[in-house]
Amino acid sequence: MIKQTIAFLGAGSMAEAMISGMVESGNIPAQQIIVTNRQNQDRLNEIQNKYGVRTVLKDDLNYSEVDQFILAMKPKDIDAVLEDLKYKITPNQVLVSVLAGISTSYMEERLNDKQQVIRVMPNTSSMLRESATAICPGQYTQMDNVIVAKELLQSIGKVFVIDEENMDVFTGIAGSGPAYFYYLMENIEETGNAEGMDRETLREIGAQTLLGAAKMMLERDESPTELRENVTSPNGTTAAGLEALHQSGGGEAISDAIKGAASRSKEMSKELEGLLVGSK
Ligand SMILES: NC(=O)C1=CN([C@@H]2O[C@H](COP(=O)(O)OP(=O)(O)OC[C@H]3O[C@@H](n4cnc5c(N)ncnc54)[C@H](O)[C@@H]3O)[C@@H](O)[C@H]2O)C=CC1
Ligand SMILES: O=C(O)[C@@H]1CCC=N1
């Protein structure tokens, strides 16, 4: 059971997905989770009623009782938040950021000397405790705090400790990834519906097909290539489907999506530093 007190700064969709998973896991008592935002009291009431966590507007937060702050606002708000936190926190406290594109050094440079920070990239499947989450600590972060953060994040799915240089591509794969699969599902639904099937059934069929494939990947010791080949009979339907996918640039499209998201992640902190034109 996690003994530290956690405060979310930001109560949007990512924060809610994490809060839901954490509370559901039972690994941390709901009363040890404090959720804040700047001014939307209705949103805080909603979160408190749903999950039984404590909520407070950020200006009323007792900063000294918090062990780990989870930064969950939009990247554009990071400078104001760090400037504010600098005067309110001590080196014993840890900042865990889920913000896309914001590096540990970006945060360290704007905080007090040797502040402990951790960069994390979860995804919205945290809601059901099925996130694929990356974690990379800053240079001053104590190992015992990394372990607690990891334990906390394990309550919302699988955790991968990775080098920071891979954080952008991880974001392109797993942080943004759920959206690619939802997009795929939207197109499955559209196509099946145009052929006369009803959308509700199609949604279930698409999801079950994706779930089955994901489970095969996780539970069988076979590569995606082997699994794909097992579906593909010579001159059969799958071969025809894959050929059409190939002709339409399917593989390239997936690769471009990941590269596009990763490159946007890289760009974001540069934008904030004013190194790119048309920033913020
Ligand atoms: N939505 C997603 O799938 C994922 C989002 N992220 C990251 O999570 C962060 C939040 O994303 P969303 O939840 O989608 O955004 P959102 O716009 O839904 O939520 C942002 C929240 O931050 C609050 N906020 C802004 N400034 C604040 C401050 N100074 N103190 C306290 N609260 C403050 C806002 O009131 C709002 O509640 C982003 O930085 C994003 O990069 C990371 C992984 C996945
Ligand atoms: O779209 C975004 O910027 C955020 C980060 C990863 C997923 N959503």
Average pLDDT over residues 92-100: 97
Domain 6-170 and domain 175-260 have a common topology: no
**Does the complex come out with an ipTM higher than 0.90?**
yes
Ligand nearest to the CA of 97: 1
Sequence-distant (6+) residues with CB within 8 A of 272 are 75, 76, 78, 79, 102, 106, 279, 280
Cα(74) to ligand 1 centroid in Å equals: 4
For residue 165, what is the DSSP state?
Answer: G
The topology under which CATH files domain 175-260 is ProC C-terminal domain-like fold (1.10.3730)
Residue 274: HSE in the Cβ half-sphere, 13 Å Cα cutoff: 1
Find out whether the beta carbon of 265 lies less than 6 Å from any atom of ligand 2.
Answer: no
Best mutation site among 168, 169, 176 for ligand 2, i.e. most ligand atoms within 8 A of its Cβ? Answer: 176
**CA separation (Å) from 200 to 183, 186, 212?**
16, 12, 18
Best mutation site among 171, 180, 264, 267 for ligand 2, i.e. most ligand atoms within 8 A of its Cβ? Answer: 171
- Count Cβ atoms within 10 A of the Cβ of residue 31 and give its class: 0-12 exposed, 13-18 middle, 19 or more buried: exposed
Gap between the Cα atoms of 280 and 274, Å rounded: 8
CB 233 within 8 A of CB 36: no
Counting atoms of ligand 2 from 1, which one is nearest the CA of 178? 7
Find out whether the beta carbon of 176 lies less than 6 Å from any atom of ligand 2.
Answer: yes
Cα(199) to ligand 2 centroid in Å equals: 27
What is the per-residue pLDDT across 141-183, written as a single tens digit (0 to 9) for each? 999 999 999 999 999 999 999 999 999 999 999 999 999 999 9
pLDDT of res. 275: 62
Cα(81) to ligand 1 centroid in Å equals: 12
CATH architecture under which domain 6-170 falls: 3-Layer(aba) Sandwich (3.40)
What is the per-residue pLDDT across 200-248, written as a single tens digit (0 to 9) for each? 999 999 999 999 999 999 999 999 999 999 999 999 999 999 999 999 9
pLDDT of res. 259: 98
Tokens encoding 52: 């039984």
Gap between the Cα atoms of 89 and 34, Å rounded: 16
Counting atoms of ligand 1 from 1, which one is nearest the CA of 77? 26
H helix intervals, 220-275:
224-231, 237-247, 250-272
Residue found by looking up tokens 């904030």 in the block: 272
Name the residue ranges covered by the structural domains of the chain: 6-170, 175-260
Cα(176) to ligand 2 centroid in Å equals: 5
* pTM for the predicted model, two decimal places: 0.95
Cα(253) to ligand 1 centroid in Å equals: 28
Tokens encoding 128: 């059901």
Mean residue pLDDT across the chain: 96
Q: State whether the Cα torsion 231-236-237-239 is positive or negative.
A: positive
Gap between the Cα atoms of 248 and 256, Å rounded: 13
CB 34 within 8 A of CB 56: yes
Q: Is residue 279 over pLDDT 90?
A: no
What is the per-residue pLDDT across 28-79, written as a single tens digit (0 to 9) for each? 999 999 999 999 999 999 999 999 999 999 999 999 999 999 999 999 999 9
Gap between the Cα atoms of 269 and 107, Å rounded: 10
Three state DSSP letters for 37-94: ECCCHHHHHHHHHHHCCEEEEHHHCCHHHCCEEEECCCHHHHHHHHHHHHCCCCCCCE
Q: What is the band of 269 on the pLDDT scale with cuts at 50, 70, 90? A: confident
Q: Is residue 280 over pLDDT 70?
A: no
pLDDT of res. 270: 85
